[in-house]
Structures are given as structure tokens and as C-alpha cells.
Amino acid sequence: MSKMAAEGGGKEMNEIKSQFSTREGAYKLLTHSEYSRPNRVPFNSQGSNPVRVSFVNVNDQSGNGERICFNVGRELYFYIYKGVRKAADLSKPIDKRIYKGTQPTCHDFNHLTATAESVSLLVGFSAGQVQLIDPIKKETSKLFNEEGLLSSQNQANSPSGTVV
């Protein structure tokens, strides 16, 4: 047994360490899901930008009808979803959008009109806009409340609770 193996608690020299520290910093072996996260955005449990996830079934012929949409910061991703046991190929999104001035805060699919060729997705943004997109066709249909006139502050200040 070498001196280095004995100092390391008697472990094998060929053992692959999952984490270690040096004077430059701490290093940790990432799991596949951590490593393949888009842009490897660090997880921040106290952040004000939560990740939202939406699912839709488009009933395509291949049997992979589930689709997933999620946002990370200013980015919105749309993938084929293969279930919790199989990781999505994060290098091949069906659609990816990066927003500049505002960021997605919520989104949901229209499950009634979803098909394998087209799906309507409403995306709400931090500045109050709502956008209708089709991530399969990669089209942007409409942008609502572009001026940001409707917001939760307007509703709170209105005497009847309705938007003025």
C-alpha cells in the first residue's frame, strides 16, 4: 500500500473521488441531470426567479406524446418528455427562447387544442405582458398587455378590485 493510500484512510489509489478541495476551491462530480441543465444555471433556493414547469400531451403516433416546457431565468425551453426515469436530451430542445427585457414567470398549454403539429402556450412575463406562442411551429402569435397597463398593482388600487 502506498503512503498516499494510507493517508487517505486506506482507500484504493484508483478510486474516483466524487468531491475534493484544493486551495483554489472545492470540486464536486456532477450527476447527469445537474451537468446537463441548460447553461448549468446554479440552483438558488432563495432566488426570486422560480422555475415553472408545464406539461401537455399531444397524442402523436410515436408514443412520445408528452411535452414539457420550463423556464430558467430569462430562458424558456420546450422538450419531448420521456418520463421521470429517462432524462430528456437537453442538447436538443424543440424550441428555446431567450428574452431580453423581461423574464417568463408563468406559462400553461391549451390542452384542448394541442396536436402533434401545433400547441398553444401562453407565457406570462415579469413586466405584465402575456404572449401566445406555438413552440412546435416556432411561431409567436400575439403579445397582450404590451404597455404593461394591466398589473396586480392596478387591481389592488381599484375600489372594486377590477382593472381600470
Chain segment 39-81, per-residue pLDDT in tens: 555 544 445 567 889 999 988 777 778 899 999 889 999 998 8
Which pLDDT does position 117 carry in this prediction?
A: 92
Which pLDDT does position 106 carry in this prediction?
A: 92
Residue whose cell numbers read 464536486: 28
CB 107 within 8 A of CB 92: no
Burial class, 31, CB count within 10 angstroms (exposed 0-12 / middle 13-18 / buried 19+): exposed
Nine cell digits for residue 58: 399531444
Chain segment 132-141, per-residue pLDDT in tens: 999 999 988 8
Average pLDDT for 103-119: 93
Closest CA to 106 of 79, 69, 161: 69
Position 11 confidence tier, pLDDT thresholds 50, 70, 90 = low
